[in-house]
Amino acid sequence: MQYCNYSIISLFCLQATKVMNSGFPFLYLLLTQTQNNMKKIIVFVASAITISCNNGTATNEQKDSSAKTTNVSYAYPIDYSANFEIADPKLAQKVTELWKDFDNNNLDNLNNIFADSVVMISPDMVFSGTRDSLVEMSHRYRDSYRAVTSKVDAVMSVRSKDKNEDWALIWGSEITTSKDGKVDSAHIHEIWNFNKDGKVAFMSQYRQDYPGKKM
**Cα dihedral 39, 41, 46, 48 in deg (nearest 10):** 150
77 CB-near residues (< 8 Å, 6+ apart): none
The confidence score (pLDDT) of residue 159 equals: 98
The pLDDT of residue 214 is: 57
For the whole model, what pTM was predicted?
0.67
Q: Identify the pLDDT of residue 17.
A: 47
In order along its 215 residues, the chain shows pLDDT tens digits of 444 444 444 444 444 444 444 444 433 433 344 445 444 444 444 454 444 455 554 445 555 544 556 789 999 999 999 999 999 999 999 999 999 999 999 998 899 999 999 999 999 999 999 999 999 999 999 999 999 999 999 999 999 999 999 999 999 999 999 999 999 999 999 999 999 999 999 999 999 998 755 55
* pLDDT of res. 211: 73
Q: What pLDDT is recorded for position 63?
A: 53
pLDDT for 151: 98
How would you class 118 by CB atoms within 10 Å of its CB: exposed for 0-12, middle for 13-18, buried for 19 or more? buried
Q: For position 140, what pLDDT does the model report?
A: 95
Q: How far apart are CA 110 and CA 99, in angstroms?
A: 11
Contact 127, 137 (CB under 8 A): yes
